[in-house]
Structure 1
């Protein structure tokens, strides 16, 4: 019999995990046991604001009742059929999500990394089958400091040595260029065998690095001029996180859905989604594209036992309903502007924080210290002590990404916690 974890202390449970689990993460020392809305509780019952949202997977808040009710109802009916058979939910989901995001077809998967791998395969197959590119010369352009996952292929085009080192030989067929650099992209596209450009609209793991306002639109135009696909990885930035349905929508008003401003909106040729696609309740990801691209996928070319399973797609439809019905994009935009304004007020007199940046409720502060220092980590430990959970990225950057259901009152309470904590380090 498994012992009730509530009968163990946080230290006991951390020791248990460290003893029996692979050490592939460096978690903040807190053991979470329960979540509701913007809050999580540890095993001792202390409550915290969640300012990471499982890396933006919990945009709709922890255990959203509508999503959980859908999960329960579907789990009691049927959970998995595999794609050896049709199931009663997948067609409904296919129609729902393609209309929601405006594409002809969807290829359902489970995790974000799976979806990126799927997009890479789709891009290569399209270039070789429809454009006649030789397999050995087909190339995909990516950005420096990208984070698209940790599979063998994905780390092959990463410049994060911690993720790469010791895992070679690496997969060829990629060229890495500086992010937010149109001249570098234009030069890379001079190669006649570039199949596509894979990019995060905002680089989350790199420290919430936001590009120039017109970067994505002009990047897409350069790709299309050379006959290459523009592929947007919106796994972390999508589903209302940045104040619009997708980060590629730019600063649209999102009244119910996106009113896409031509100056900033980019329609990707391939859209990659995950994380909040299920509200954190179940692993669901998706790759969307139009028929002219997706038609290269035929039986046997790609698949997943769990991809498109009835439980996952039911949860995804419910999660997307919540985003639309509760106007989470609009809330993220309003609260994000407030958060950055309040943080900038603090930064004016701060020696500890250099900068706040971001869009919507995907933000980060840059700590005035070396990336190799432990200052940001120590700040996060004190934030934890004061009831707010966040984590550093790239050493001296702290990412802040609370659930999008947060209220203004809660956000201002969190700003107070953050600024009071930073004052301890001034």
Structure 2
């Protein structure tokens, strides 16, 4: 094992990870070797509860027999074939099931890609190309919100509102009009509005902004504004989709149907990379005609194993009545989170369904108190990651009441051990 970790430090490079500290001789990386249900096991045989759903992806727990069986059955057929000029049954079945999750809506077309960033890229490119080739080439601007996060590819990052995620520079990508709030739309000039192709938003809650909640009713009001001005609405449900907020999709809380719905992360239950961008017949028909096509795609678009995993995950939703059991589970989660409010260093707790952010402080950013608290939580059997000093707790939907209680207790002990209120 020591030799293997030396090889790790010699050759690998991890995302969002300060690699100098990672590669120091005294640091032993945590190697996750197996998982079952809501638990993960490391190289020493220690078990941890998966408190951030393996970076917000896992839905039904690890090693779920239904999803495992779906992948194995597909593996006996074929693992992957091109989707460029070909099709296959798992993609067809999944597309129909995704559309059926929003009965009566105008969302009728499904475009597959690989991850959340590419789902966003698809929606933005579709919106811009639609207007350009349908008589409105001046509609070349995307309206986005401050502190938004929509992914790390160049285009997705350009509509994001958190500078640190944009790399070495911020002047790249799409033409963006950025606003802080819904009310700021009133300050847009007529000419600015006429240039808008689409508005993009994370519905109900901004994830990488520190689990920042939008005011109730904001999404519905934004949708109405878009309809009034005939501007496409893109909803980034990469994090919020598939039950995280208590409904299958966050937009259903306010009866909003967008022009583009971007899905990834939980789409396969947290098993394999797969994304989908759902859109309308209006958009689809805008790409019909001689020589017209949507010139975007990936080698692994609609990968059969990914589609099989997603079909397995949706089967679990149906057979285990996951959504029906969520209200009681969310209420228990809310009660548990409330018990953390008596800790002096807990500044705020923000919750949306099974998504929670516990903000501690105030601390100087260089003290890395969020990181230190999450590391301390490992000693109490909990794995999670912070957003600066906001401790993210996003358990799999499969977590039991006992497991949720254990997670919050572990976080409480970690906060008590590490965090003390200070103004420095």
Any idea what the Cα deviations from partners look like across 1:100-140, whole Å, max 9, x if unmatched? 2342111111211111100001111222233x2225x5111
Task: State the partner residue of 1:309.
Answer: 303
Task: State the partner residue of 1:115.
Answer: 119
Q: Is the 8 A contact 2:199 2:234 kept in 1?
A: yes
SS at match of 1:424: helix
Task: State the partner residue of 1:389.
Answer: 383
Please point out which of 232, 236, 241 is paired with 2:235: 232
**How much has 1:225 moved relative to structure 2?**
0.3
For the residues of structure 2 that align with 1:63 and 1:125, how far apart are their CA atoms?
A: 41
Q: Is the 8 A contact 1:358 1:364 kept in 2?
A: yes
**How much has 1:401 moved relative to structure 2?**
0.5
Task: State the partner residue of 2:351.
Answer: 358
Q: 1:94 to 1:279 in 2, by over 3 A?
A: same
**How much has 1:169 moved relative to structure 2?**
5.0
Q: 1:196 to 1:74 in 2, by over 3 A?
A: same
Q: Structure 1 residue 295 and structure 2 residue 285: aligned?
A: yes
Task: State the partner residue of 2:101.
Answer: 100
For the residues of structure 2 that align with 1:13 and 1:284, how far apart are their CA atoms?
A: 30
**How much has 1:189 moved relative to structure 2?**
7.4
For the residues of structure 2 that align with 1:24 and 1:312, how far apart are their CA atoms?
A: 23
Q: Structure 1 residue 58 and structure 2 residue 62: aligned?
A: no
Task: State the partner residue of 2:9.
Answer: 18
Please point out which of 170, 173, 178 is paired with 1:171: 173
Q: Structure 1 residue 417 and structure 2 residue 422: aligned?
A: no
| Worse-matched range after superposition: 90-99 or 226-235 | 90-99
Q: Is the 8 A contact 1:331 1:405 kept in 2?
A: no
Root-mean-square deviation (CA, aligned residues, Å) is: 2.0
Q: Is the 8 A contact 2:142 2:159 kept in 1?
A: no
Please point out which of 258, 270, 276 is paired with 1:286: 276
| Worse-matched range after superposition: 228-237 or 291-300 | 291-300
Any idea what the Cα deviations from partners look like across 1:256-308, whole Å, max 9, x if unmatched? xxxxxxxx221111100001100122111101111111223454523222212
* Structure 2 unaligned spans of 5+: 23-28
Q: 1:77 to 1:25 in 2, by over 3 A?
A: same
Task: State the partner residue of 2:86.
Answer: 85
Aligned residue pair count: 398
* Structure 1 unaligned spans of 5+: 1-7, 251-263
Q: Is the 8 A contact 2:274 2:303 kept in 1?
A: no
Q: Is the 8 A contact 2:210 2:390 kept in 1?
A: yes
Please point out which of 369, 372, 375 is paired with 1:375: 369
Any idea what the Cα deviations from partners look like across 1:370-390, whole Å, max 9, x if unmatched? 250322211111100110011
Q: Is the 8 A contact 1:238 1:247 kept in 2?
A: yes
For the residues of structure 2 that align with 1:371 and 1:61, how far apart are their CA atoms?
A: 36
For the residues of structure 1 that align with 2:400 and 2:62, how far apart are their CA atoms?
A: 15
For the residues of structure 2 that align with 1:13 and 1:161, how far apart are their CA atoms?
A: 35
Q: Is the 8 A contact 1:234 1:272 kept in 2?
A: yes
SS at match of 1:272: strand
Q: 1:176 to 1:41 in 2, by over 3 A?
A: same
